[in-house]
């Protein structure tokens, strides 16, 4: 079942969209519906947030001085 939707857009943009639709041999409604489908479908690609969530969580003591730990690790790594 199809439903009616009213949109308000700039006149010059509407003319450009109509011209584009004619060149693509599609209707403006079809273009809008296709865009909405692409925006609302779930992404098949994983985002960086999914990858970060899978990383191992570091074990750090509650009273640890993170700045001190950072400099100690870099001193070992870079020798300063």
- Give pLDDT tens digits for 11-45: 999 999 999 999 999 999 999 999 999 889 887 77
1-19 mean pLDDT: 94
17, burial (CB in 10 Å: exposed 0-12, middle 13-18, buried 19+): middle
Domain ranges of the chain: 11-78
Q: Which run of H or of E encompasses 30?
A: helix 28-40
Phi-psi region at 7: left, alpha or beta (left = phi > 0; alpha = psi -120 to 50): beta
Cα separation, 27 vs 16, whole angstroms: 13
Report the pLDDT value the prediction gives residue 64, as an integer from 0 to 100.
Answer: 82
- Model confidence at 80: pLDDT above 80: no
């Amino acid at each position: 079942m199809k439903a009616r939707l009213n949109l308000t857009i700039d006149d010059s943009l509407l003319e450009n969209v109509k011209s584009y639709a004619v060149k693509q041999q599609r209707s403006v409604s079809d273009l809008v519906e296709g865009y909405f489908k692409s925006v609302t479908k779930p992404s098949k690609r994983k985002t960086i947030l999914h990858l970060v969530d899978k990383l191992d969580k570091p074990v750090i003591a509650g009273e640890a001085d993170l700045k001190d730990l950072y400099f100690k690790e870099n001193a070992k790594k870079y020798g300063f």
